[in-house]
Amino acid sequence: MMKMNINSRTSYSKAIFTGIIITMLSACNTTKNIPDNDALYTGASVKITDTDVPAKQKKAITSSLHGLVRPKPNTKVLGMPIKLWIYNMGSEKGIGKWLRGKFGEPPVLVSSVNVTRNVEVLDNHLENRGFFHVKVSGDTTIKGKKGSAAYQVATGPEYKISNITFPDDSSELSNAIQETAAKTLLKKGEPFNLDLIKGERVRIDVELKEKGFYYFNADYLVIQTDSTIGNNLVNMFLEVKPITPPEARRTYRINDVVIYSNYNLNSSRADTSMASAVYYKGYYVIDSAKQFKPKVFEQTMQFQSGDLYSRKDHNTTLSRLINLNVYKFVKNRFETVNDSNQLKLNTFYYLTPLPKKSLRAEFTGTNKSNNLTGSQVTLGWRNRNTFRGAEQLYMNVFGGSEIAVSSSFGRYNTFRVGGEATLSIPRFVIPFLDVRNPGQFVPKTNLQVGYELLNRSKLYTLTSIRGNYGYSWKKDLRTEHQLNPVSINYVQPLNVTPLYQKEMAANPSLSRIIEQQFIIGSTYNFNYNELAAGNTSRTGVYFNGLLDLSGNLAGLLTGANAAAGKPKELFGARFAQYFKTELDARYYKQIGLKSQWANRVILGFGLPYGNSTEIPFIKQFFVGGNNSLRGFRSRTVGPGSYTPPSLTSTNTTFIPDQSGDLKLELNTEFRPRFTSIIEGALFVDAGNIWLYNENPLKPGSKFTKDFLKQLAVDAGAGVRLDLTILLLRIDLAVPLKYPYTNATPDKGIIFNLAIGYPF
């Protein structure tokens, strides 16, 4: 048996520690792997030597030129070349080689800097920006094993636009171009800019495509410039190139529109075979299997026979066909019609359907900040063309549970089962009205019914039935509307255990959770999301607004007045009457190349009246948890300064959900990006909920002018792992300020494990 005394073990530990320190210091030596007769490239500087260039313009020019210089030095995170350090720590074999290849970055060398090429790039860029007498020079400087590049730029005067002339002949094309002149990007007095010239050609081409010039393109336009008129001014002359073909100079109208609504990619295309075509409201629909009703295309198609060709209508039609969600492939083509009297286009659409029916299974897992770990299994069935009108029928059944893995408040597990059916019709279905959405997205009429049974073991069992009838539509990728004129939700307790009844006797507010709730009303939701537009920037605004009305008509007809002791019932159940709105505003700001600063404000207001003194429990607001105040357990904060019995009584065996009629929540979070898959987080959260009316069972819960003093505040840090298919989030938060008046819990770190960003 091998023995080692304390002194030898200490020496061994010191040796290991010393080895680690030496390895780390070696990695931090950025010039470790620099070849002889070369140096580590640390970057470039750009200096504008002209003294008459305004400071603001000089800063903008310097920034744009600096971005053009190549190569870029080694990347840095918080000012440190971490990737270069990792590369230096690696080796040519084994795990060291993998470490280099996966996370490292080899040193950028001065020998890779092509000063002559950079000078040409900077010179060309400035000439394209109107500095026609620019002079650029550059050189490299090496000190020891590090080197840099410096560029001096004499811009000379900046030329500006004096006048822009458009074609003035009487041809159809020239007249159309003249009609677009008022929207020109080339304004008198603005600096000469090649990018604007290119943009002007594209703008005119887009305008002409809306006027029927199907075969025209931006390359047929040229803009000549005259910089000899003096005073650093240029005249511009827009011309149509002589090589422009005749067909590009004429407008085209739509002739026949032929739709192959059940097209098989493996079959031969027979555009002239119209024997089985059905003519419906201006369209020829070919579907020998009669899989789709011709009326599906009545609102989807934007082209009709005789219309002037429009690229907007062309793209809108394709987009709407795709958004029907019943076609796997959507293709189209245009064919010129040989008609001596008029130029026409036949339009063909080839639509390959998705499988009509599909079945899916989904398993999800959750870990909540109230020590509940859950899972749910969902089985879903879909019919993509239920009544041959592209209607989508979704049917889901689910079962799940939440298990208290560790809790000082007892283990009361939750089990739920239920189902839901939704029928989505791709158009507005409104009695006696024909309403159409002109955008790229197909509007939907949705009918939904659902049932759920929830069992909180040892406590209670609830059953709920819900139904909605409404509409959803989009103006564009950023904007979405959802209107439900009819929204019904009925919650009924099936069983309440003696244990829960005993708890209610000690804390009567617990009865709110199991009370019968009958909600019949309307909802409207508006969503605007700039980050959904597909741009690469992480800067943008998000806004979601909810309006929820319930029991207004019933309250008016029955004269309900719960505050005066005159509650009313509908179909044998007391209905809720309230007004509720919730506003969720967020601002995201990109910091550097990949990091982000995210901010959120949530304002919620619920006004119970008529047949209600509080809005229903399932409609109230909550704070605390993974996606809210991360320094507090889920739904444990508030209302107001009310102190939950769990903080003052040793007899309380579980934490009730705390709810309110009003809500204020503020969140800010900085998200530094370290690598392509690792992101950090530093955050601060604040918020609370309140009741609109005084509740003697919850002293301090009513909203007052002192609401800011009752905000709960926490702060923390976290790590995110971006695994492409999901984002795994770990947050550690510490409460900084408690809203309670009668108790101050022990401060501790709250651990949050979740999927996705908190906001």
- Which tens digit of pLDDT belongs to each residue from 187-214? 999 999 999 999 999 999 999 999 999 9
Bridge-partner residues for 550, per DSSP? 521, 578
Quick check: do 253-353 and 457-755 share a fold? no
Q: Give the residue-averaged pLDDT of 287-296.
A: 88
Q: Are strands 344-353 and 253-260 parallel, antiparallel or unpaired?
A: parallel
Q: Is the dihedral of CA 756, 637, 743, 715 positive or negative?
A: positive
Mean pLDDT computed over every residue of the chain: 86
Ranges of beta strands (E only) in 553-618 are 569-570, 573-574, 578-591, 595-608
231: left (phi over 0), alpha (psi -120 to 50) or beta: left
Give the span between the Cα atoms of 749 and 734, in whole angstroms: 5
What the block records as the tokens of 360 is 């899916």
Of 43-47, 372-376, 384-388, 721-725, least confident by mean pLDDT is: 372-376
733 in Cβ contact with 715 (< 8 Å):
yes
Domain 253-353 has CATH 2.40.30.10: no
Alpha helices in 440-579 (DSSP H): 498-506, 511-514, 552-558
In this predicted structure, the answer to whether residue 401 has a pLDDT above a threshold of 90 is no
Distance CA 32, CA 40 (A): 10
| pLDDT tens figures, 130-179 | 999 999 999 999 998 899 999 999 999 999 999 999 998 889 999 999 99
d(CA 17, CA 214): 73
Q: What is the pLDDT of residue 574?
A: 84
> Could you tell me the CA-to-CA distances from 99 to 30, 74, 169 in Å, in that order?
17, 17, 67
Buried b (16+ CB within 10 A) or exposed e, 280-307: eebbbbbbeeeebbbebbebbbbbeeeb
Asked if 684 and 714 count as a contact pair (C-beta separation under 8 A), the reply is: yes
CATH superfamily of 160-249: membrane protein fhac (3.10.20.310)
How many percent of the chain have pLDDT more than 70? 90
Give the Cα separation of 551 and 110 in Å (integer). Answer: 75
Tokens of 450: 């659902």
Using the predicted structure, report yes or no on whether residue 326 has a pLDDT greater than 60. Answer: yes
Which CATH class, in words, describes the domain spanning 457-755?
Answer: mainly beta
pLDDT for 683 beyond 70: yes
The DSSP string of 239-259 is EE-TT--GGGGS--EEEEEEE
The share of the chain scoring above pLDDT 90, in percent, equals: 48
Could you please state the CATH topology (level 3) that the domain comprising 31-73+108-154 is classified under: Ubiquitin-like (UB roll) (3.10.20)
> Domain locations in the chain?
31-73+108-154, 160-249, 253-353, 355-456, 457-755
* Angle formed at CA 570 by CA 565 and CA 573, multiple of 5 degrees: 75
pLDDT band at 634 (very low <50, low <70, confident <90, very high): confident
CB contact burial 1-25 (16+ within 10 A = b; e otherwise):
eeeeeeeeeeeeeeeeeeeeeeeee
Residues in CB range of 157: below 8 A, 6 or more apart: 131, 133, 232
The mean per-residue pLDDT over the stretch 345-365 comes to 89
Confidence tier at 272 by pLDDT (50, 70, 90)? very low
How far is CA 708 from each of CA 650, 684, 687, 698, rounded to the nearest angstrom? 30, 16, 9, 19
pLDDT-derived band of residue 576, with 50, 70 and 90 as boundaries? Answer: confident
